[in-house]
A and B are shown apart, each in its own frame.
Chain A
Amino acid sequence: MNKSLASLALAGSLATALTTLAAPAASAADAKEKCYGIALKGQNDCAAGPGTTCAGTSKIDYQKNAWKLVPTGTCETMKVPGGMGSLMQGPAPV
């Protein structure tokens, strides 16, 4: 295929593709953040760092160093007994 013709066809397809994509808000809507201190006992997603699987291992409710994925922007508005959700990892339970 002729080079410039190929690029032209690509440009048309890309333009169509870009218009079919939803506004950037769509990707923000499914964005998640790690929220510490809100998971019930045994229902955390993970916390112990890269290379480990520790989902479901938290020992107490609302453990400060265990997190759960929540929609971006909602974590710090979550009220739990004894405090709020936090984007920062808290201490391990004593």
Chain B
Amino acid sequence: MSRDTQDRFAAALLDRESPVPQGLESWTGTAPPRRFAVYRNNVMQGLIGALASRFPATEKIVGRDFFTAMADAYIGKHPPRSPVLLTYGEDFPDFVAGFEPAAGLVYLPDVMRLEAARSRAYHAADAEPLTAATFAAIPTPRLSDLILTPHPSLAILRSAYPAVLIWAMNSGKAEPAPLTAWPAEDALVVRPHMLVEVHRLPPGGAVFLQALADGLTLGCAVEAALGDAPAFDLSQNLAGLIRSGGFISLRLEEPANAC
């Protein structure tokens, strides 16, 4: 098959309105349009299934019919670039953010970003997290020069909505209930051992962990966190950091003055 034929075949697969690609024949000589329609439907169902298995809470929130229609619209505009579908749908949340029928669900793209981060964490490389003992052994005067290496699975998400709680209520982690408050929520996603974990972060926590993940020193990360949230509680955040297993190695930077 020539490159040109393949391109036309692929394009026709994702566009229901397009006719059967030119030159396509069935060996029995009958009804290529009908057979092609079956194949096209199978391809779409497969891709919709791949998205549904990556975004189960999203499917639960909007319902199967809505999800299928939304996925259908996405697939037409963003067909997979790889035969491996593990990371397919990376930009599905961004697509949904601009998808008119879902505009009323303002929190939905953030819930989807959380789900996408969870599956990335699931497939990230294994690494042994730092233990509390390692932190306890750092010479005190050098603490502010500490630089940490993030776990390969680590991701930090910020939402203007209670995206973590909504995700938890729709994935069996929390009892579904009416939301009485509508706070912004930040999340840490990490897979320290075998299971992907989602932690809701305290004030300033997202900026703190992101600064550390970006390679800033502990001293600079604390400054950044305090700038973001004056209520930043260092002890609470350090305990959360160590408990989460989100970092895998440490070193001490040569003392520097500026952040």
Q: Select which of B123, B194, B222 is within 8 A of A10 by beta carbon.
A: B222
The segment out of B11-19, B100-108, B136-144, B169-177 that lies at the interface is: B136-144
The reply on A74 being an interface residue by CB < 8 A is no
The segment out of A11-19, A75-83, A84-92 that lies at the interface is: A11-19
Task: Give A1-50 interface residues, CB cut-off 8 Å to B.
Answer: 1, 3-4, 6-11, 13-14, 16-18, 20-21, 24, 27, 30-32, 34
The segment out of B20-28, B56-64, B67-75, B238-246 that lies at the interface is: B238-246
Interface of A is mostly: helix
Bound CA span A84–B194, Å: 22
| Chain B residues at the A interface, C-beta cutoff of 8 Å | 53, 84, 86, 123, 131-133, 135-136, 138, 140-144, 193-195, 218-219, 222-223, 234-236, 238-239, 241-243, 245, 255, 257
* Chain B residues positioned under 8 Å from A27 (CB to CB): 131, 245
Whose C-beta in chain A lies nearest to the C-beta of B241?
A17
Q: Select which of A6, A14, A31, A53 is within 8 A of B86 by beta carbon.
A: A53
Q: Are A51 and B86 in contact (CB under 8 A)?
A: yes
Question: Size range of the interface on A?
Answer: 20 to 34
Q: Select which of A7, A9, A18, A30 is within 8 A of B136 by beta carbon.
A: A18
* Chain B residues positioned under 8 Å from A3 (CB to CB): 144, 219, 255, 257
Whose C-beta in chain A lies nearest to the C-beta of B194?
A32
* Chain B residues positioned under 8 Å from A20 (CB to CB): 235-236, 239
Bound CA span A35–B53, Å: 24
Whose C-beta in chain A lies nearest to the C-beta of B140?
A11
28 A–B pairs (Cβ distance < 8 Å), ordered by A: A3-B144, A7-B140, A7-B141, A8-B140, A10-B143, A10-B144, A10-B218, A11-B143, A13-B234, A16-B235, A16-B238, A17-B235, A17-B241, A18-B132, A18-B136, A18-B242, A20-B235, A21-B132, A21-B239, A21-B242, A21-B243, A24-B131, A27-B131, A27-B245, A30-B193, A31-B193, A32-B194, A53-B86
